[in-house]
Amino acid sequence: MSKRDLKKYLAELNKEQLEEQIIELYEKFAPVKVYYDFVFSPKEDKLLQESKIKISHEYFPIKKPTSRWKPKAKLRRSVAQKYIKHFILLGVDPFVIADIMLYNIEIAQTYSSSNFIKQELFYKSMLNSFEQAVNFIISNGILSEFKERIFAIQQETIRQKWKNKYEFEAISDKVDL
């Protein structure tokens, strides 16, 4: 069904029928429920804090009191990407999205500052995250609020002697630091 056909169909329904359909969608499909829950109660701060906790657990997992072993860090960029995509779909404020994008890189750098990471893929994925974040920040016109954090991330790659530090520098040159 095309968007035009859908509009035509919806125009034929009365208010009560439309309400019934929306309630049915809300009950049947989790993404619809999530969307409406967010629209009517946009707790962006709570969402941001929850996502930061989950992302930080990828690098610094919490040991369960019943376990003798400390869990291993998973370093999955996909966890942060899932939250970023979800925030964009919900229409969360660009400041919040930019914050989580940069936080993802900052927590990874915190981890790598005290743990040697030999997988090249880690550094490449952090570079991709950095480029996406810088492009998002520029395209949303919020660069002045995030310039310092972008610069700090780029400087940290130099301090930690990341192999791709020059690529980070090239990307940060876009913002004319």
Region for 61 from its dihedrals, namely left if φ exceeds 0, alpha if ψ lies in -120 to 50, beta otherwise: beta
State pLDDT tens for residues 134-156. 999 999 999 999 999 999 999 99
- Model pLDDT, residue 24: 92
- Model pLDDT, residue 35: 81
Q: For residues 94-111, give the mean pLDDT.
A: 97
- Model pLDDT, residue 65: 65
Q: For residues 75-104, give the mean pLDDT.
A: 93
Residue 76 CA to residue 97 CA, distance in Å, equals 18
- Model pLDDT, residue 71: 81
Instruction: Give Cα 26 to chain centroid, integer Å.
Output: 25
Confidence band, pLDDT 50/70/90 cuts, at residue 40: confident
- Model pLDDT, residue 41: 75
On average, the pLDDT of the chain sits at 90
Concatenate the DSSP letters of all residues of the chain into one string.
Answer: --HHHHHHHHHHS-HHHHHHHHHHHHHH-HHHHHHHHHHHS--HHHHHHHHHHHHHHHHSPPPPTT-SSPPPP---HHHHHHHHHHHHHHT--HHHHHHHHHHHHHHHHHHHHHS----HHHHHHHHHHHHHHHHHHHHTT-HHHHHHHHHHHHHHHHHTT-TTHHHHHHHHGGGT-
- Model pLDDT, residue 34: 79
Q: For residues 43-60, give the mean pLDDT.
A: 90
Check if the beta carbon of residue 84 is closer than 8 Å to that of residue 97: yes
Confidence band, pLDDT 50/70/90 cuts, at residue 167: very high
- Model pLDDT, residue 96: 95
Q: For residues 115-132, give the mean pLDDT.
A: 94
* pLDDT score of 68 more than 90: no
- Model pLDDT, residue 122: 94
Backbone dihedral angles phi then psi of residue 96, each to the nearest 5 degrees: -65, -45
User: Could you tell me the residue ranges of all domains in the chain?
Assistant: 1-41, 43-175
The total number of residues written for the chain in this structure = 177
Q: Which of 108, 107, 171, 162 is nearest to 136 (CA)?
A: 171
> What percent of the chain lies above the pLDDT cut of 90?
61
